[in-house]
Amino acid sequence: MLIKYYPFILLFNPCVSGGVDLFCVKNGFKYLNDEINLEPHLEEFITQTKWLKQKLDHFNTTDQRDWKMKYFKRLSYWRLNGPIYLFLGGESPVSPRWAETGIMYELAKETNGALYVAEHRYYGESRPLNGTDAEALKYLSARQALADNAYLLKYLKRFSIYKNSKVVVVGGSYSGNLAAWMKLLYPDLIDAAIASSGPVLAKMDFYEYLEKVSDNYEQYGTKKCLGKIEKIFKRYDKLMQSAKGIQLLKEEENICEKCNLSALENQQIFFGVKVGEFMSISQYGTAEQIKDHCKILLNGSIYQHNESGIPPEESTRNNCTCYDFDETIKGYYSKENDWIISWLYQTCTEFGYFQTTSSDEHPFTNNMPLNFYIRMCHKLFGPDFDEERVNRGVAAVNDLYGALSPNVTNVVFSNGDLDPWSTLSILKDLSNNAPAIVIPGSSHCRDLLSNRDNDIVELKEARKAIKNLVKKWIGAEC
């Protein structure tokens, strides 16, 4: 059995689970949905699945094509004049569990609100057009998605029961951007917004991501941890320079013999996978987990640093598997995971977010350069998707939404200070009515979940502060 890796280290990182032929994606919104789905079911499942006809292109009056958008509805706690809460879907299929647990659910329960969860166009079952090429995806953009959500809210507001209802939008990761941008573009429709871990600054060469990962391991890891990481990656780099070194690396890492590690792109994919382990722990973990990871690194051999701490031959060969880093981007995809391509399209046309190694302020060597990602755009979507086109898209997004200075009020921007994505987010108050909450020791979007017993005090206090702000802005203070 071969385990294929693909170079998609954007808002997600590749991983392997249990030696099974599995492409495990940990992007921001997919991870969030997985987390919310793990929350215990405390009540009977009573969320309804609904569909709404949407325009294919909201900005072309001559194009009358339409499609159906999936959303979820729950009115268990709603009372007349209560607010509408809308959770904005992001870059993966959306879960109805956002109407059953988490900070939005708690707000609705405390303020007699109606709960809605919307799926983003081109993700999950909400697909305006079939296909994963550039022509099929041309109507995929944040602006079109924002218009979809605006139309959903206007549709709801047509019902007399919602005539006096305030509207609160909630989102995390990319959908955290959408929450803030909804308030920007539709200020008369939106009364308040929670923008959790939203990287509102589009950036092509996102070298700051790995700088933050490095900072986390320096600050929270053991004393010699950063030096050990540097030795590991420099050794990888050196081994890649010779046939003998490549063969040794294949044996140590259980890489398939047929895999051509002499090819530059395959080497870059290898480095992406190895760096992804540190990215994942930094983005989703805790300070304690970073320290534990460092202990494993320091106690192991120079090459032993998979997540379990088990040498590669023990963790994979017992399952008769080997790892293959040959780059075959399009061959992997099926209808079950075409949303991955949708997100890559958005990074290539709007956001960049390419987590490069172009900075010198990290220990991971420079083996994931910008052109690695540009080639990905080119191969997936055609020769027109070059660096210039990515740059144009990034500039247009920052110009439209205001980058780190959006002109918004009644929006709370929250970030965990461990989260590498926070380096593209708003970390200081824009105004009294657009505050920033930075949560010490917390990671990506953790504030959107409900309190857990092992949550740190700072995280619980942040959730309380966020809820109090929303209640104040919609006039629902106790």
pLDDT per position as a tens digit, 113-155: 999 999 999 999 999 999 999 999 999 999 999 999 999 999 9
Look up the pTM and report it: 0.89
Angle at 435 between CA 432 and CA 437, to 5 degrees: 145
The neighbour count for residue 130, using CB atoms within 10 Å, is 8
Residue 77: what residue type? Y
Closest by CA position to 234, among listed 135, 125, 367, 384: 367
Residue 323 has a pLDDT of 79
At residue 82, the pLDDT reads 96
**One-letter identity of residue 90:** G
**Mutual angle of helices 208-220 and 287-299, in 10-degree steps:** 80
What's the pLDDT score for residue 400? 98
In which residue ranges of the chain is pLDDT below 50? 1-26, 304-320, 329-335
- C-beta of residue 29 within 8 angstroms of C-beta of residue 175: yes
Beta-strand ranges (E) seen in 103-245 are 114-118, 167-172, 192-196, 203-205
> Cα dist. 275→30, 232, 280, 313, 368 in Å?
20, 11, 9, 20, 9
CA 4 to chain centre: 22
Q: Which residues of 283-293 are buried (b: 16+ CB within 10 A; e: fewer)?
A: bbbbbeebebb
For the chain, the domains span 32-202+402-473, 204-395
| Residues 335-382 pLDDT 10s | 456 788 999 999 999 999 999 999 999 999 999 999 999 999 999 999
Res 307: pLDDT:
41
Beta bridge pairs of residue 255:
323
The residue to which tokens 């030096």 are assigned: 227
CA distances to 289, 348, 394, 422, 429 from 445, rounded to whole Å, are 17, 24, 23, 10, 18
Cα separation, 187 vs 192, whole angstroms: 9
Tokens of 307: 């997540």
pLDDT recorded at residue 130? 92
* CATH code reported for the domain at 32-202+402-473: 3.40.50.1820
The contacts of residue 305 (CB under 8 Å, 6+ apart) are 232, 274, 277, 296, 297
